[in-house]
Amino acid sequence: MHRLHDGYVLARRYRVSSRIASGGMGEVWSGTDLETEETLAIKIMHPHTAEEQTFAARFREEARLAGELRHPNIVHVCDSGEDDGLAFMVMELVPGTTVAKLVASTGAQRPALVWSVMSQVAAALAVAHEHGIVHRDVKPSNILITADGVVKLSDFGIAHATDAVVETRMGEILGTPHYLSPEQAEGKRATPQSDLYALGVVAHEMLTGHKPFARDTPIATALAHLMSPPPELPERVPEELAAMVLACLEKEPQDRPISAADLRDAVREAVARAGLDPQPRPFIPHESILTGV
């Protein structure tokens, strides 16, 4: 995307300023809405992926699905379109970091923060699931957190409506192997309980500083999700929190929490009983502006 530069204007409305992140499907730039003067994030699809129908379809589906969702814990998609061959979507700009960068920079996190992340991501998933949308890629890099402790779920790039026919290449497994549910590892369709499993993996990683099912190869990692129990959590982790994390990590979907809404409510009740701050501030050594790509 060499033509993009500071000052480039998309659709005669959005002026891009600086690149924030880059991924397989596209780049995220900070920018300004010339009509409202609001600072936003603009996700722009790589031009070469537009020729690949599967990627293009996923990009359009992400814009459509995320645009349907309105919740404080979901990165809001404001607009989408195409300009001179560049497909783009416009999102709120979230100041802060990702859970992935937080764990990478500071290691295992405080249980209070893990409670908060579980509660807020479960709240986001509850809204998505109520709209018939399964995220399918809940992972630390898709969970944004601000200095004030607000958590937002991003990147619905491989999400699908629960009643839709999922378009994938033969033999392809969507999602990140480290956070893949056992049923997805078996090639079965993802369900809302698959998202809860991924959230359990994220919470376990936050509490230990390590990916619980990491192995040398993606296939070995997928098999670990299917066959291996999660590593024991540190003794400092409250029993109730450990029990909720392990419940999310049950191999059989029916043994996990009934729904994201139930998990959200259970976490909130536990936090209230413990007298904890429901939204503790994370320690962010180097604050930056990030959003999903």
- pLDDT for 92-125, tens place per residue? 999 999 999 999 999 999 999 999 999 999 999 9
Give the span between the Cα atoms of 259 and 134, in whole angstroms: 12
Given this model, what pLDDT does residue 168 score?
Answer: 42
Which has more confidence, 203 or 20?
Answer: 203
Determine contact, residues 152/94, Cβ cutoff 8 Å.
yes
Given this model, what pLDDT does residue 239 score?
Answer: 96
Give the span between the Cα atoms of 265 and 83, in whole angstroms: 43
Rounded to two decimals, what is the model's pTM? 0.88
DSSP string, 219-248: HHHHHHHHHPPPPPPPTTS-HHHHHHHHHH
Q: At residue 156, what are phi and psi to the nearest 5 degrees?
A: -95, 30
CB atoms within 10 A of CB 164: 13
List the catalytic residues: 137
Determine contact, residues 67/90, Cβ cutoff 8 Å.
no
Q: Which amino acid is at 241?
A: L
Say which range, 78-82, 116-120, 154-158, has the weakest mean pLDDT.
Answer: 154-158
Closest CA to 152 of 89, 98, 80: 98
- Give the C-alpha distances (Å, rounded to integers) separating 233 from 14, 114, 200, 245, 256: 47, 13, 12, 10, 18
Given this model, what pLDDT does residue 39 score?
Answer: 94
| Domains along the chain with CATH numbers | 9-92 (3.30.200.20), 95-290 (1.10.510.10)
Give the span between the Cα atoms of 293 and 288, in whole angstroms: 15
Kindly state the tokens that stand for 108: 């295992």
pLDDT at 258 over 80: yes
Q: Identify the residue whose tokens are 């936050």.
A: 206
